[in-house]
Structure 1
Amino acid sequence: MKYPGRIIKLGEQDAGIVKALKTQLNRMLAVQRIAELKLNVDDPNFGPKMKQAVQLFQVRHVDAEGRPLKPDGEVGSITWASLFGPETVTSSDTAADSFLASVLKIAAGEEAKQVREQPKNSNRGPDVEKYLRRTGLGPGFAWCCAFLYWCFDEAAIAAHRANPMFKTAGCLDHWSNAQSKGARRLLKSQAIADPSQVQPGMIFIMDFGGGAGHTGLVEAVAGGLMTTIEGNTDASKTREGGGVYRLHRKIVEVNKGFIDYAGL
């Protein structure tokens, strides 16, 4: 059964989904000889006992990247994929929009160069400074959003067209103004409920408070997991890392939302 595109939780009304989940939970938890844990598949209700069964499954299992599941008793796309298999959730590693595919190719080229700050932890270096210059800034500023603007601008120059991305080096400034350029915003709640709406070529925005944020490009999506290309980060996934990296994140980590320039 394919993931239905929404979080399944206490009070779910679709009897078919509830039955499929109960059947799979009984099998995966091997509860045949433990009457108090076995779920009644003919009962169409997602009640407290079923929530406990989901939590038990989440405690015992990991996602496709080997990370623990969040034991919240709700079945989102990541838990669904762990229950029914990765083929039951939407996945994509290709941008449908040709321009965004070009942006991703340019970003991947910078990642392959292993761009790093010089010196370390300085927000400086030949490549870092070329990203910042493209947004009108000098060296020393946080540069994750400037990296994205540079990638978009390089793709636009190569295609002899206007750059659709709002010109800024500020992540939250970008979030606030992207729609003025015609971009679509996908809120975190929409993305978490239905990860199939997150597509390669989109830009994610994270908000850390106090005006601080982080951003990157979505390269591929598999259910609630995504591969990203980001500047000013590192393997620790911080917002002040020292290079361009390809990382693996959960969609739920994105606490602001996504920006989509497809079709512009």
Structure 2
Amino acid sequence: MLREIVLDTETTGTDAKNGDRLIEIGCVELINHVQTGKSFHRFVNPTRPVSQGAFAVHGISDAFLADKPLFADIVDAFRDFCRDSPLVIHNAPFDVGFLNMEYARLGAAAPPPIDLADVVDTLQLARRKHTGAANNLDALCSRYGIDTTRRTKHGALLDAQILAEVYVELLGGKQTSLGLAMAASEDPVVLTGSDGDVVAVGPRRLRHRLTEAERARHEAFIGTLGGSVVWRDYLGEEGAAG
């Protein structure tokens, strides 16, 4: 089973090294490239003003963030959700840079920094697949026919959900992705929806529809044909009986 976490963030500005901070984290869970309905979403008080440029992008105000928890208060829940699963991020150096800067601010309690080598960067995937074309999230959604009408402003959770759809398309589309996931394991792929229902989506062995009596009549009929049964020579007795 392959578990991945698609992640997006919003920030006070564009430069983590010069003091800009995280203000929102959104994550969605993928199992074998299929969204399970499980997500993680938090707003964070950055203890500094949101720049006008950033506010124009996401519309998250200082007043809205004033009563939100600090990053130190949500980091354990965030890490518990992600566990050791690979992260999938669009333009990964930006988000990873902010997350690692927030980790560094925690001092002795800081988790290990995120290694970019362990992150799937969908921007790099898109650049390899669509060389010379625009590969921002809006352009990719337009290219793959992904509905973004609900997205009037950038938001971390919504953007993560949309990015999860883009990621599957970059891998070759939903059918290809699900088919590869099924081929990778003989065990059923088990998904848990947002309502808590557990659904096995495959692969699984199908039961024979023939009864034993019907199978016996079929064998008796074959015996009346005489000579060699060609498909048994080709498949062997076990294959013919299966």
Could you say which TM-score interval applies, normalised by the shorter chain? under 0.3
For the pair shown, which has the larger CA radius of gyration, 1 or 2? 2
TM-score (normalised: structure 1): 0.21
The structure richer in helix per residue is 2
TM-score, normalised via structure 2 length: 0.22
